[in-house]
Structure 1
């Protein structure tokens, strides 16, 4: 049965969805759940097409909209979100939907090697995005004034998955979603072992299309591990001047 989440954790809402009722903590971040089937339909479709018992690594999970959706569909999820406010609501949303057996939340940031790193948060509010490792630079390499900085233990994808690769009784496939405001390539480089082993089947990564060198590096890196680009997506209804070239790139391992 769902956990008894105290009222002091903040207001909550329940909405009807194609997969049943979803309850969520709604202070400041409720719009993310209310628009979850409209803002990124390609991400919903990507998750909906997973084979049964897929393990989703949701990197940059925010308050957990896609983690919750995948878990409701019956998949295992590791939801990674270093923002203190978002991590709090992520855990609350897992508990409110009785998904503790399906979703493992982690507050560690990810990098290409294991170390302690300072994380700069542009905002510490619920549902906010934009954080950076080491220097307070956004995904355009423009400096911002952080609302706060916290040093955290950064892990790699290989660190996390090494405990799951040994025993795949509870899942058959691995999918990775990365939405981390400019640190996507750094994080991918921390999955070298898993990519080499062929353990990962599909990857969805958000990239700024106009940053051509950055996008090319990601494409070439994944191509070395036999991944092919199967689609580039953007919903024009939710585009802003700042995000006009930010799109979701979906890759699939050849032969899976």
Structure 2
């Protein structure tokens, strides 16, 4: 009996020892077992340490996708509100405000740049018009423009058709030498300015500045001028952007016809076309589309410009269609033909004064002009930003 009792006691003691051992082992395992989050964090630290030794960028998975801890291109849209990201806040890119971003790097919108030489705007949209560059009818006269920036090819008319502008270019290599030299000075002074020429004619000014390597926009409504401008631009092989716009510029969009003088293509002026005009149905009379100066901002990325406006009495209406242009672009210097406005230049004066410009004599250090004596101003004047 004593032997049985002793065996029973030993058996119970063994069970107790086994139970205590199992309990102690389980308790220690529970205390030292890492949580899932700890495992992720410890694993990330381990990855970072390994990456530091091997000069690698540490990464881990979110939704099965590898994400770099040093990434600056991870979008917060990849992380739901229910899931807290392991990325530091600094890993997300800052928000970029639209007004801090340049619209495009080229002067002309990328959808046209490098493919267009000539563009035109209808009443509703811009379109490429490079086809006019191939319309040499055999009456183009090739001459050499001897500009302050160097010589370049220029296509003109015969002297029988255009005795003044073409005649001077053929015989002397230049037209309006003093005006070109003056604007050349301002283009050299303002090295960040583009050149915009309203009433480009054969392009003496614009081709000069294109030869300097500057960005140039030549605007003219007369098709025969546009064809010659395109050929001059392409043969000039200029290092920067040069474009020809085949439109008239006015204060509204409408169709224009032309008044011409025999032997003086440079004196061509625009006139509004109505449905009652015979010019609409005439097969030998050209019609063009007038657009706004503001319309240029749809495709051109202007910041600072120097301008010339010589549109044969249409200067007032050309300017009045450019309120947004003058409000958003730094028009620093502008040469304007004044002969047609000596009787009443009040609208031009009011418009340009509103845009912080003042009239000056046409010289490098020309004195300011009295706005109350505009009838005595010279034939060409300079407007300068103040």
TM-score between the two structures when normalised by the length of structure 1? 0.74
- SS of match in other structure, 1:21: strand
Of 266, 290, 295, the residue aligned with 1:128 is: 266
Q: Which residue of 2 aligns with 1:150?
A: 286
CA contact 2:259–2:269 (8 Å) conserved in 1: yes
Change (3 A) 1:49 1:36: farther
Of 222, 240, 255, the residue aligned with 1:117 is: 255
**Structure with the larger helix share:** 2
Change (3 A) 1:119 1:12: same
CA contact 2:153–2:235 (8 Å) conserved in 1: yes
- Give the Å deviation of 1:37: 4.9
Q: Which residue of 2 aligns with 1:230?
A: 360
Q: Is it true that 1:31 corresponds to 2:170 in the alignment?
A: no
Q: Which residue of 1 aligns with 2:379?
A: 247
In structure 2, what is the Cα distance between the partners aligned to 1:71 and 1:189? Answer: 28
In structure 2, what is the Cα distance between the partners aligned to 1:191 and 1:217? Answer: 13
In structure 1, what is the Cα distance between the partners aligned to 2:268 and 2:184? Answer: 24
CA contact 1:14–1:24 (8 Å) conserved in 2: yes
Change (3 A) 1:91 1:118: same
Q: Which residue of 2 aligns with 1:62?
A: 201
Change (3 A) 1:86 1:5: closer
Q: Which residue of 2 aligns with 1:216?
A: 346
Of 159, 174, 187, the residue aligned with 2:295 is: 159
- SS of match in other structure, 1:52: coil
- Give the Å deviation of 1:124: 8.3
CA contact 1:85–1:124 (8 Å) conserved in 2: no
- Give the Å deviation of 1:161: 2.6
Equivalent pairs, count: 225
Bigger Rg, structure 1 or 2: 2
- Give the Å deviation of 1:194: 1.9
In structure 1, what is the Cα distance between the partners aligned to 2:298 and 2:245? Answer: 15
Change (3 A) 1:210 1:110: closer
Change (3 A) 1:197 1:210: closer
Structure 1: gaps spanning 5 or more residues: 136-145, 234-244
Higher RCO (Cα < 8 Å, 6 or more apart)? 1
In structure 2, what is the Cα distance between the partners aligned to 1:55 and 1:150? Answer: 30
CA contact 1:122–1:129 (8 Å) conserved in 2: yes
- Give the Å deviation of 1:247: 1.1
In structure 2, what is the Cα distance between the partners aligned to 1:75 and 1:11? Answer: 25
Higher mean Cα deviation, 86-95 or 197-206? 197-206
- SS of match in other structure, 1:129: strand
- SS of match in other structure, 1:181: coil
Alignment of 1:4-43 (within 5 A): 8=138, 10-14=140-144, 16-28=146-158, 30-34=166-170, 35=172, 37=174, 39-43=176-180
Change (3 A) 1:78 1:38: closer
Q: Which residue of 2 aligns with 1:48?
A: 185
CA contact 1:53–1:74 (8 Å) conserved in 2: no
- Give the Å deviation of 1:164: 2.7
In structure 2, what is the Cα distance between the partners aligned to 1:36 and 1:220? Answer: 38
CA contact 2:193–2:306 (8 Å) conserved in 1: yes
Alignment of 1:154-193 (within 5 A): 154-165=290-301, 173-193=304-324
TM-score between the two structures when normalised by the length of structure 2? 0.51
Could you list the runs of 4 or more consecutive aligned residues of structure 1 that deviate by over 6 angstroms after TM superposition?
Answer: 3-7
CA contact 1:52–1:74 (8 Å) conserved in 2: no
Change (3 A) 1:4 1:53: farther
